[in-house]
Structure 1
Amino acid sequence: MERQVSNRYRLIEPLGEGGMGVVWRAYDELLDRTVAIKEVRYTGVGDDKRADLNRRTIREARAAGRLDHPSVIVIHDVVEEDGRPWIVMQLIRSRSLAEVIREHGPLPVAQAALIGGRVLDALRAAHATGVLHRDVKPENVLLADDGRVVLTDFGIASLEAEAGLTATGGLVGTPAYMPPERLNGEPARPESDLWSLGATLYAAVEGVPPFKRDSWAATVAAVLRDLPGQPVRAGVLGPVIMGLLQRDPAARMSADEAAHLLRAAASEPAPYGYAAPPAPPPGPAGSWSDMTGPGERGPAGTVSLRARRRGWFLGVPAAVLAVAALGTGGWYVVTTSQSATTPTPAPTSTSTPAPSRATASPTATPEASTTPTTPRLPAGWRRLANSAGQFSIGIPQGWQAKKSPTRDSITVTGPGTPGMLLVEWTVPDKPVADPARAWVELEKEIQAKGEFAGYERIGIRSTTYLGRPAADWEFTRQRGGTLIHVINRGFRTADGRHYALYWDTTDARWDQDRHYFDQFVKTFRPE
């Protein structure tokens, strides 16, 4: 018989187990959704101490629940049942960074920098609200199927203002990733999380943590007395790693400097080429502002601990699956791909004619481009800027842009057409060389899974966009009994940010509505 928690959450299956409990896949019968629930277990302690630990866990879960950031796990609820806390979280289909390192070995520098930048961005958001993580390590860094990097398990985090709750006499955390001040009995501080990030980056590029030894005691001793071995695979990440692993917290590299160096490292060419988008600037994620010019006016604008599937999209790991809800229980897949060419700043936009049906030219030579100034908007359009995605785009009057609450994407819709534009900025799982070839491989994956009913390719071809190699994937498919026509352009900017511009409308209105996509790609500009 299936078990229920709080007369609401039906436990389905365990997803993973650790020292502090079990994570379950569960079904929220009130809100009709699948969630992850962490069952927190404390063993080997008396009743009084267990009660204190439960109170601490509940308060810390609530503290983490205040965080609103795309790289921080979403906590929906926390309840107490059977004398222990149950933390209800967003279920993210993902693999941990630790799993990826174990299965694929050290990561390319650009990919490690990309992941590190997103983790650092999450930590900065947490530290700004007084929340410390205290257990940053590869096992707690999730590489989500939808392209996000998510920091999870704030279960041992504590508000700095409520540090008294942590005085239990125990040491919480993983020694190989724990800073020396914590091992010396000093309280955690933001710099402590930065040290753990440095150790995590070291493990990402070297394959092993910097102070890993044969036993727990030997590992603790190494952190306290030894210098980290100079990383040999880190390349331009070396200064970041060694700066974060300074034994004295006061001498440790600052978060601002680390963020700057991670952006630079992420944009370095890597094997097969992809680099990371920089972390969003400080400020509310997904905030919009109006960028009005003459004549322009408008309104201001868990976790699976195991993988959903055993492998990455090994042939096209940089083509990220972006999933958006369609009504009740329906889903469609939006995909992105990016270029691997060494960055050369030359912003431009080109409009290319639609290919004829049933053609494909994934190896076509990119077209030449020019370098225009900021484009003039069509009459009646206004320019909006998104701070999290670091871009601006023109949209017609009366159209609205809505930020996804869980994804790095926005959706633009308006009156007079069933069409929809989706702009997504993504994190690639792994680098690939040819954006058009990535579309071809991803197409094979989708067809093998049967995810697009009535799918028919119109064309996959290379092009040039914003002075960069890009690829357009155009196809039709059935959705809810209607034939939908899609074009999706994937590309990477010169400084390493990845975007996709996706447009779909009904096939019957394709010729009538195609001009919207052409105008959107002309007005889009990375900031």
Structure 2
Amino acid sequence: MTAEQDASGRLLAGRYRLESVLGRGGMGTVWRATDEVLGRPVAVKELRFAAGVDEDERRRLVARTLTEAKAIARVRHTAAVTVYDVVEEDNRPWIVMELVESRSLSEVINIEGVLPPRRAAEIGLELLAVLGQAHRAGILHRDVKPSNILIGHDGRVVLTDFGIARVEGDPSVTSTGMLVGAPSYISPERARGRIPGAPADLWSLGATLYAMVEGRPPYEKGSALSTLTAVMTEDLLPPVNGGALTPVIAGLLRKDPEQRFDEAITRRLLTRVASEADTQPYEQSYEQPYEQPYEQPYARSYEPSRTPTAVGSSGSDPTQEGTAALALPPEERFVEPLRQPAPVPAPARRSSRRRRSGKLLIGLLVLLLVAGGGVWVALAQAQRHNAGTGSDGASAAAPAGYQRVDGPGGSTVEIPVGWVRTRVSADRSKFQGPAGTLIVDWTDNPGNSALTGVRAEAARTSGSFADYRQLELKTVDYRDGWDAADWEWTYTGSNGTALRATSRYAITDSRDGFSLYWTASAATWDGTRNKELLRTFEDSFQP
């Protein structure tokens, strides 16, 4: 039994009954609990110490937790959670807070795709308001990012995790010289070690707005050092999907805090975007002084056409499922035309780990070419690597209207021509089209049972889906004896749409774990097209 399982059912301070884990972070665990005195649900944040932490570090972590509680208590806004109590047990504080039935903004983006500019502006206005309240109370949040923003099932926006906030009048709880926060969302002045002010939080807000419409932060480079260097030195690549929000993002992401948009300007422009149709050209949506938000270097760094390009596209929609509205920056698009791969001799079977090693070499080549300005060529070559091949290296022809593309962990899968990849990381690829969203996840530590893994995932995440209803969770036959299980459920999306999802988790013969996670409209789930898509994804997947 784990420590968390053992703690479930524990009664804190004679009134707060711990029930289930809502989330985990670097400093501890957040529990769903019940206040047995008042009979209401609450969230309880438990501070946990890693093994081997010395006494000085323990005191610093306790001080940080108390700082968080004080900071939240001083901010009075609907976009900030209410702190009910702080209790001490086991010589550490536990923060008792309002329970917000919600998902994080990062979960919304990852599962449902990027947000339209209008919705992003609405969320931005709520965040701006709560940040303004915090700043006037002498508090800098210092960690504004999508994973710290909750989107309630009722649409409420909540900024959480004031754990590294700096409260005016309180001594710093951060070690000397330590830079805390997510590198992708840290402002240039903080990256340079300067004392930040309110503009630093506004920069992080701008990076968050960018992530809402693009699916990724503006300067993510894969490592903390590379990302912080880019934040300080590189020009901003304009968001392709920013629309009317683009000049607001550009103004918030100015490197000089003195030139950055302040709260008043940002509020005025976000209000304008939130009140306009998403399709209105951004050139007409902001005031004359900001008519040229980009310096010339942006144009030089964005040589590929900004015309949306989808899989197999050559300027026209190749299928009825073209995705111009879902276009992404060049490094995240598949742009090869659909074609039959040339016949090649079938080499000896290579393990998925062997193929991943080859991709790591390609990644190193990309990094070398970045310095010489050859990043676009290298990325295009990396995307073409292994395209059109099965797990044994032999050529495999995709059915009409589909193209075989790379996924995480050396995998490949066939997706419709015209679809785009909206997010890629070392262990996740995401493909999006009008019919729905496919997420392919990979792990080299799959556990001992697919069914056990799916059950654990369902228990961990089901509470984050509005109107969640489980349809099935069972072992299935898949690929000549792979250990596999399906989890299927329905829920209500952030825009009120009824959605249905299924996740097939499989453990391969080489002990890799893969999940095919398909989400589509509940209204079209039983339709012929949806059945064809799901069958093609599952049948064509190769580890």
Instruction: Provide the TM-score with structure 2 as the length reference.
Output: 0.50
Aligned counterpart, 2:137: 129
One-letter identity of the residue aligned with 2:90 = D
One-letter identity of the residue aligned with 1:307 = F
One-letter identity of the residue aligned with 1:9 = Y
Whether 1:317 and 2:475 are equivalent positions in the alignment is: no
Contact 1:142 1:152 in 2 (8 A): yes
The number of residues matched between the two structures is 290
1:11 and 1:239 mapped to 2: Cα distance?
46
1:223, distance to aligned residue in structure 2 (A): 1.4
- Report 1 or 2 for greater relative contact order, CA contacts < 8 Å, sequence distance ≥ 6: 1
Aligned counterpart, 1:57: 65
User: Which segment is superposed worse, 180-189 or 229-238?
Assistant: 180-189
2:113 and 2:208 mapped to 1: Cα distance?
14
2:100 and 2:227 mapped to 1: Cα distance?
32
One-letter identity of the residue aligned with 1:21 = G
Contact 1:21 1:40 in 2 (8 A): yes
Whether 1:71 and 2:229 are equivalent positions in the alignment is: no
Whether 1:31 and 2:33 are equivalent positions in the alignment is: no
Equivalent of residue 204 in structure 2, options 196, 209, 213: 196
* SS in structure 2 at match of 1:214: coil
- In structure 2, relative to structure 1, the CA distance for the partners of 1:315 and 1:135 (3 Å cut) is closer
* SS in structure 1 at match of 2:270: helix
2:466 and 2:209 mapped to 1: Cα distance?
25
1:87 and 1:193 mapped to 2: Cα distance?
24
Please identify which structure carries the higher strand content: 1
Contact 1:96 1:305 in 2 (8 A): no
One-letter identity of the residue aligned with 2:268 = H
Gaps of 5+ in 2: 1-5, 281-460, 469-489, 499-522, 524-543
Contact 2:199 2:260 in 1 (8 A): yes
User: Which segment is superposed worse, 100-109 or 198-207?
Assistant: 100-109
What aligned pairs does 1:119-518 form with structure 2 within 5 A after superposition? 119-270=127-278, 306-309=464-467, 313-314=492-493, 317=496
* SS in structure 1 at match of 2:232: helix
1:203 and 1:315 mapped to 2: Cα distance?
17
1:50 and 1:315 mapped to 2: Cα distance?
39
1:29 and 1:122 mapped to 2: Cα distance?
30
Q: Deviations over 1:404-449 (max 9, x none)?
A: xxxxxxxxxxxxxxxxxxxxxxxxxxxxxxxxxxxxx9xxxxxxxx
Equivalent of residue 97 in structure 2, options 89, 97, 100: 89
Contact 1:16 1:306 in 2 (8 A): no
Q: Deviations over 1:286-318 (max 9, x none)?
A: xxxxxxxxxxxxxxxxx9983354565349618
- In structure 2, relative to structure 1, the CA distance for the partners of 1:238 and 1:316 (3 Å cut) is closer
Aligned counterpart, 1:109: 117
Contact 1:114 1:266 in 2 (8 A): yes
User: Which segment is superposed worse, 128-137 or 208-217?
Assistant: 208-217
* SS in structure 1 at match of 2:32: strand
1:160, distance to aligned residue in structure 2 (A): 2.3
* SS in structure 2 at match of 1:106: coil
1:67 and 1:60 mapped to 2: Cα distance?
11
Aligned counterpart, 2:21: 14
Aligned counterpart, 1:520: none
* SS in structure 2 at match of 1:155: coil
Cα RMSD over matched residues? 2.5
Q: Deviations over 1:118-175 (max 9, x none)?
A: 1101111111111111110011111111221111111221212225343454322111
Contact 2:150 2:157 in 1 (8 A): yes
- In structure 2, relative to structure 1, the CA distance for the partners of 1:315 and 1:40 (3 Å cut) is closer
Contact 1:177 1:196 in 2 (8 A): yes
* SS in structure 2 at match of 1:187: coil
1:95 and 1:133 mapped to 2: Cα distance?
20
- In structure 2, relative to structure 1, the CA distance for the partners of 1:250 and 1:41 (3 Å cut) is farther
1:304 and 1:133 mapped to 2: Cα distance?
29
- In structure 2, relative to structure 1, the CA distance for the partners of 1:315 and 1:167 (3 Å cut) is closer
Please identify which structure carries the higher helix content: 2
1:106 and 1:225 mapped to 2: Cα distance?
27
2:22 and 2:67 mapped to 1: Cα distance?
24
2:494 and 2:177 mapped to 1: Cα distance?
49
Contact 1:94 1:304 in 2 (8 A): no
Aligned counterpart, 1:326: none
One-letter identity of the residue aligned with 2:464 = R
Contact 1:80 1:86 in 2 (8 A): yes
Contact 1:205 1:234 in 2 (8 A): yes
